[in-house]
Structure 1
Amino acid sequence: MAKEFPMPHADILLHTGDISDHGDDAEIADFNEWLGEIKHHYKYGVLMISGNHDWMSQLGRVQAWQTEPEVLLYPKHLQDKVPNARVLHHELVEVAGVRIFGSDWCPWFGYAAPGDWWNMEWTQARQRVFAAWKQQALRNGSRDPVPTLAAKPLNKGIYNAFWLKLVNMMIFPGAVMVAVWRCFVLLFVLPEFCTAVPTSGAAAAVSANCGTTLLAVRRSMTKALPAARTKVWEAVSSTPGSHACRGDSRTDNSKSYYEVTAGVGSLEACQSLCEERASDCKGIEYNPSGRCEVWMRSEGIATTSTPPAAWGEFQCLRFGWPVSMLSLVEGGEDRACRGESVTDNSADYYVLHDVKHLAGCKALCAAAPVCYGLEYGGGRRCEVWTRPIMATAVVSRSLCLRFEAPANEPTVMASYHPLSGECVDDNIAGVAALEESGEVLTCGSFPSATPHHAVAWLDRQSGALRRAVALSTAPSACQVLESGHVLVGSSVGLQCFSASGVKVWELSALQHVKGLSPARGGRVAALTENGTVAVVKESGSLLAHRRFGYDATTSVELFSDGRVVLGAFTNNWASNPVQIARVEIYSKDLQTRLTQTWGHFTAAELDAARNMADTRIYSLAISEDEAYVYAAGESAGGNTIFRYNGRDLVTKTARDTGTPMWMAKSAAHIGYVARIRSSDGEVEIGTFVAPILQSKNRLNTFRTRDGGLVHDARNAAVYLTGTSACCLADRETMTFAGQIVGGYAGSDASLVVFTEALDKRLLWTTFGADRNKGKPATLALSGRQLAIGVVMNGGTAITTEMSALRTPPDSEPCGTSTKPNKDAWVAVVPAAQLLPAS
Structure 2
Amino acid sequence: MTFNGRYFLIFAFTAVTLYWMSAISGNLIIPLNLTPNPAQAMNNLNVSTASYLGSDADDWGTAVAISPDRTILFTGKIPHHNLGLTPVNLLGGGDGVILQTDATGRKLLSLTRMGSIIDDIEVNSRTGKIAVVGDFGLALLADAQTLLWHQELGSGGSATMSNGRRVAMGTDGTMAALFNKKITIVDERGTVVSEFPIPGKFVEDVAIHSPSQSIIITGYSQKDRGGCRQLQVAFIRSYDYQGNLNWTNYDWTHAEAHGGNSSCADTRGSRLTLGLDGNLYFAGESAGGNTIFRYDPRDLSKDAPNVIFDPYNHPYNTASNHITYYARFGPVTGEIKAGQFNLSRLSSGRGNTIIPRAIAADERGNLYIGGQSSASFANRNESTISGQSGAYAASDNFVLAVPSDLRTRTFMVSWNKGCKGNNQVVGIATGYGITAMISDTAGCDMITVNAVQGKPQGGMEILYSVWEN
SS at match of 2:231: strand
- Measure, in 2, the Cα distance between the counterparts of 1:827 and 1:510: 33
- Residue 416 of structure 2 aligns to a residue whose secondary structure is coil
1:414 maps to which residue? 50
TM-superposed CA distance for 1:692, in Å, is 5.0
Query: What SS class does the counterpart of residue 768 from structure 1 fall into?
Result: coil
- Of the three residues 38, 63, 73, the one matched with 1:441 is 73
1:497 and 2:141 correspond: yes
Matched, 1:487 2:125: no
Structure 2 match to 1:825: 463
Return closer, same or farther for 1:445/1:521 CA change in 2, 3 Å cut-off: same
Instruction: Write the letter of the residue equivalent to 2:111.
Output: A
Q: Which residue of 2 aligns with 1:586?
A: 239
1 or 2, which has the higher strand percentage?
2
Residue 411 of structure 1 and its aligned partner are, at CA, apart by 6.4
Change (3 A) 1:802 1:726: closer
Asked if 1:630 corresponds to 2:269, the answer is: no
1:700 and 2:348 correspond: no
Which of 65, 78, 83 is the aligned partner of 1:432? 65
Within the alignment, does 1:783 sit opposite 2:432 as a pair? yes
Pairs within 5 Å for 1:201-350: none
Distance 1:596 1:534, change over 3 A: same
1:763 equivalent in structure 2: 411
- Alignment deviations for residues 501-527 of structure 1 (CA, whole Å, 9 cap, x no partner): 132101114553611124322212211
Shift of 1:636: 0.8
Residue 362 of structure 2 is matched in structure 1 by 712
Q: How far, CA to CA, are the matches of 2:375 and 2:344 in structure 1?
A: 12
| Structure 1 position 571, deviation (Å) | 0.4
Whether the 8 Å CA contact 2:345–2:377 is kept in 1: the answer is: no
Q: What SS does structure 1 have at the residue aligned with 2:296?
A: coil
**Distance in 2 of aligned mates of 1:643 and 1:751:** 23
Distance in structure 2 (CA, Å) of the matches to 1:500 and 1:677? 32
Q: Secondary structure at the match of 1:796?
A: coil
Q: How many angstroms does 1:426 deviate by?
A: 0.2
TM-score, scaled to structure 2? 0.77
Matched, 1:567 2:218: yes
**1:728 shift after superposition:** 2.1
- The alpha-carbon deviation at position 435 of structure 1 amounts to 5.6
- Looking at structure 2, the residues matched to 533 and 556 of structure 1 have their Cα atoms a distance apart, in angstroms, of 9
The equivalent residue for 1:749 is 397
The 5 A counterparts of 1:408-807 are 412-417=48-53, 420-422=54-56, 424-434=57-67, 436=69, 439-449=71-81, 452-461=95-104, 463-481=106-124, 482-499=126-143, 501-509=145-153, 511-512=155-156, 514-528=165-179, 530-561=180-211, 562-573=213-224, 574-575=226-227, 576-591=229-244, 593-599=245-251, 601-608=252-259, 609-626=261-278, 628-653=279-304, 654=306, 657-659=315-317, 663=319, 666=320, 668-690=321-343, 693=346, 695=348, 699-704=351-356, 707-714=357-364, 716-736=365-385, 738-773=386-421, 774-803=423-452, 805-807=454-456
- State the alpha-carbon separation in 2 of the partners of residues 764 and 584 from structure 1: 30
Amino acid corresponding to residue 49 of structure 2 in structure 1? M
Q: How does 1:48-197 map to 2 (within 5 A)?
A: none
Cα distance in 1 between the residues matched to 2:329 and 2:363? 16
Distance 1:782 1:744 in 2: 30
Asked whether the 8 Å contact 1:673–1:686 carries over to 2, the reply is yes
What CA deviation, in whole Å up to 9, does each residue of 1:646-699 have, x standing for no partner? 111121123662335xx3xx5x20111112233433323221113655739x63
Greater share of helix: 1
CA contact under 8 A between 1:439 and 1:457: conserved in structure 2? yes
Are the equivalent residues in 1 in contact too, given 2:317–2:351 (CA < 8 A)? no
Relative to 1, partners in 2 of residues 1:560 and 1:435: Cα closer, same or farther, differing over 3 Å?
A: closer
2:445 match: secondary structure: coil
Give distance in 1, aligned partners of 2:274 and 2:68.
21
- Is the 1:643–1:686 contact (alpha carbons within 8 Å) kept by the matching residues of 2? no
Question: Alpha carbons of 1:587 and 1:452: their partners in 2 closer, same or farther (altered >3 Å)?
Answer: closer
Give the superposition deviation at 1:461: 4.7
SS at match of 2:257: helix
Q: CA deviation at 1:767?
A: 1.9
Look up the equivalent residue of 2:441 and give its one-letter code. Answer: M
Q: 1:495 to 1:695 in 2, by over 3 A?
A: same
Amino acid at match of 2:298: R
Deviations 1:575-622 (A, max 9, x none): 42111111122223221x2222111x2112222431111011101122
1:715-763 per-position Cα deviation (integer Å, ceiling 9, x unaligned): x411000110012221122134x43332322321101111212232221
Counterparts of 2:166 and 2:443, CA distance in 1: 26
Question: Do the aligned partners of 1:721 and 1:752 also contact (CA within 8 Å) in 2?
Answer: yes
Distance change (3 Å), C-alpha of 1:742 and 1:631: same
Task: Indicate how the Cα distance of structure 1 residues 548 and 434 shifts in structure 2: closer, same or farther if over 3 A, else same.
Answer: closer
Secondary structure in 1 matching 2:299: coil
- Answer 1 or 2: higher relative contact order, Cα 8 Å, separation at least 6: 2
Deviation of residue 458 (structure 1)? 3.1
| Helix, strand or coil at the partner of 2:247 | strand
Seen in structure 2, the aligned counterparts of structure 1 residues 465 and 755 have a Cα distance that, compared at 3 Å, is closer
Q: What is the rounded CA distance, in whole Å, between the counterparts of 1:588 and 1:757 in structure 2?
A: 32
SS at 1:543 equivalent = strand
- 1:278-321 residue CA offsets vs partner (Å, 9 max, x unmatched): xxxxxxxxxxxxxxxxxxxxxxxxxxxxxxxxxxxxxxxxxxxx
Alpha carbons 1:615, 1:634 under 8 Å: kept: yes
Question: Quick one: structure 1 residues 658 and 431, their matched pair in 2 at CA, closer, same or farther if it must change by over 3 Å?
Answer: closer
- How far has the Cα of 1:546 moved from its partner? 1.1
**CA distance in 2 between partners of 1:500 and 1:556 (Å):** 22
Amino acid in the other structure paired with 1:414: A
Q: What do residues 210-230 of structure 1 show as CA deviations (whole Å, max 9, x unaligned)?
A: xxxxxxxxxxxxxxxxxxxxx
Residues 209 and 274 in structure 2, CA contact (< 8 A), matched pair in contact too: yes
C-alpha distance in 1 between matches for 2:328 and 2:128 = 30
Matches within 5 A, 1:20-31: none
Larger Rg: 1
Distance in 1 of aligned mates of 2:111 and 2:207: 27
Distance 1:411 1:605 in 2: 46
For residue 727 of structure 1, what is the amino acid of its counterpart?
Answer: S
SS at match of 1:642: helix
Superposed, which structure 2 residues align to 1:345-364 within 5 Å?
none
C-alpha distance in structure 2 between counterparts of 1:680 and 1:775, whole Å: 33
Q: Give the aligned length.
A: 393
Partners of 1:462 and 1:708 in 2: CA distance: 19
Q: How far apart are 1:797 and its partner, in Å?
A: 3.2
Tell me the residue number matched to 1:27. Answer: none
> What is the Cα deviation at residue 567 of structure 1?
0.8
Q: Is the 8 A contact 2:214 2:239 kept in 1?
A: yes
Length-normalised TM-score, structure 1: 0.44
| Structure 1 residue 631, shift from structure 2 partner | 1.1
Residue type of the alignment partner of 1:761: R
Q: Distance in 2 between matches of 1:510 and 1:536?
A: 15
After superposition, give the CA deviation of every residue in 1:216-267 in whole Å (9 maximum; x if it has no partner).
Answer: xxxxxxxxxxxxxxxxxxxxxxxxxxxxxxxxxxxxxxxxxxxxxxxxxxxx
Instruction: In structure 2, list runs of 5 or more residues that go unmatched.
Output: 1-45, 83-93, 157-163, 309-313
Once superposed, what is the RMSD of the aligned Cα atoms?
A: 2.5
In structure 1, list runs of 5 or more residues that go unmatched. 1-409, 809-819, 833-838
